[in-house]
Amino acid sequence: MAASIGSFSTFSKWTCISQLLGRNYPIGYTCIVRHCSANAKENKKPASPTPDEVREWKKINWRAYATGRVRLQVPEDPDFPVMLIPGHSVLPQVLEKREQAKRPPMKLTQPRYRRMLPEQDWTDVWPTAHTFKWSVVPFPVRQGFVKPTESALPREKYGNAELMKIPNFLHLTPQHVQKHCAAIKKFCTPWPKALEDDTVCDKHFPLRVITRDYVADGPTMRDPRARFVTIQLKLSSLKLDEHAKDKFLKLVGDRYNKETDVLTLEADRCPVRKQNYEYTLYLLTALYHESWKQEPWEADQTEVDMIKFEWPLTTAKAKVLDTIIKIKQAQQEKGSKVPKILEDLPDTSSPDLIEKTEIIQEYKEVLSELYEHGEDVHQLEKYKNTTKKLLIGL
């Protein structure tokens, strides 16, 4: 921000004075005068400048003279008339005109914040988002860094570019928001009273479609990310039986959240959002109908294939029943001790009856919990106690 100053290189102060005295007179220079006319009249010889004259010359702003901004004011003297060089000399009339053309200094109006009334409406002053204007913001505000050693304050708002850089919220006061709301109210309709509860909303509108629009300051208004479509659905809103749900979950994999019972399907393979949306709907439909189908190979499922803990399919069931039957058979032999708890068991000939007894049901529940919730100290302790109770009767 350096202010440019006119170049003043070869023309020094002392060459000016010598030219003024008539020595070393270069042709083409505008206005050359002998200023010591009074002395010259009396003595008829070239006089050296008096101290007064030297003082006068020193007053002259030679730099301004050299750049042509100021002309020398020459006293009229008939003996020593001003030498006029056609095409170069500047006549006195022209000088006067040039001086008249001088522009008066600029008058600045007061900034707006000084002319504001306290009861004005700020929304009229600052209606939309705008860069910080020092002349409009009525409160004193400063921004800038000062060293802790300096006692100066940070820069004030006038001429502070830092304040212009940062975003401001002078267009988002509560009054502004109120006005915006009032303006768009006519486009709004009341929310249906029947849908005030979220659960009712979920029941009537089970499918949630998520898309995103992008506004960017770029050369194109299209954004490739806008094609992404996500649909979400609570699995409880689909009509599925035991088998269908099991198959559905196996087909869906990790797209189903067990905690929230929400299925999430995403699609971005097609170039346009509409195509992706239709593809997700197609996926959902296909999944639903496929899971209701019963294929012949599904009968071959074993314990490992099941998602949930299935007691009838477990090897544990067979083993437990087998063990108990063996214990019962041993009981019939003389001299063998059997846990008291097993003494009351029904006849070994019917495994179904044995299965329904309390101790087996307890064992089944504990084992089921162990599979469902995973192993931890608490679960393992429970399992240990139940097993001991079953086998030893403790």
Contacts to another protein by CB under 8 A: 1-4, 103, 106, 108, 129-131, 133-135, 144-145, 155, 158-162, 164-167, 215-219, 221, 223-225
Least distance (Å) from another protein to the CB of residue 15? 26
Q: Show Cβ contacts of residue 33 under 8 Å, excluding neighbours closer than 6 positions.
A: 20, 72, 74, 80, 82, 83
Q: Which residue has the tokens 């919990």?
A: 369
Q: Are 291 and 248 in contact (CB under 8 A)?
A: yes
Least distance (Å) from another protein to the CB of residue 184? 18
Looking at beta carbons only, is 215 or 299 nearer to another protein?
Answer: 215
> Which three-class secondary structure state does DSSP give residue 265?
strand
What tokens appear for 249 in the block? 């979950």
Q: Are 154 and 162 in contact (CB under 8 A)?
A: no
| Nearest CA among 191, 194, 136 for reference residue 163 | 136
Looking at beta carbons only, is 104 or 253 nearer to another protein?
Answer: 104
Rounded distance, CA 90 to CA 110, Å? 41
Q: Show Cβ contacts of residue 354 under 8 Å, excluding neighbours closer than 6 positions.
A: 321, 324, 325, 345, 346, 348, 360
Least distance (Å) from another protein to the CB of residue 211? 16
Q: Are 62 and 6 in contact (CB under 8 A)?
A: no
Least distance (Å) from another protein to the CB of residue 1? 5
> Cβ atoms within 10 A of the Cβ of 163, count?
21
Rounded distance, CA 46 to CA 105, Å? 44
Least distance (Å) from another protein to the CB of residue 134? 7
Least distance (Å) from another protein to the CB of residue 98? 17
Looking at beta carbons only, is 13 or 130 nearer to another protein?
Answer: 130
Looking at beta carbons only, is 230 or 379 nearer to another protein?
Answer: 230
Looking at beta carbons only, is 219 or 271 nearer to another protein?
Answer: 219
Read off φ and ψ for residue 257, nearest 5 degrees: -95, 115
Looking at beta carbons only, is 157 or 364 nearer to another protein?
Answer: 157
Looking at beta carbons only, is 30 or 131 nearer to another protein?
Answer: 131
Q: Are 70 and 61 in contact (CB under 8 A)?
A: yes
Looking at beta carbons only, is 4 or 100 nearer to another protein?
Answer: 4
Looking at beta carbons only, is 117 or 215 nearer to another protein?
Answer: 215
Rounded distance, CA 193 to CA 26, Å? 100
How does 273-294 read in b/e, with b if 16+ C-beta sit within 10 Å? beebbebbbebbeebeeebeee
Rounded distance, CA 341 to CA 102, Å? 121
Least distance (Å) from another protein to the CB of residue 228? 12
Least distance (Å) from another protein to the CB of residue 162? 6
What is the DSSP secondary-structure string of 39-98?
A: HHHHH-SPPPPPHHHHHHHHHS-HHHHHTTSS-------SSSPPP--TTT---HHHHHHH
> Which three-class secondary structure state does DSSP give residue 234?
strand
Looking at beta carbons only, is 6 or 46 nearer to another protein?
Answer: 6
Least distance (Å) from another protein to the CB of residue 131? 4
Least distance (Å) from another protein to the CB of residue 104? 10
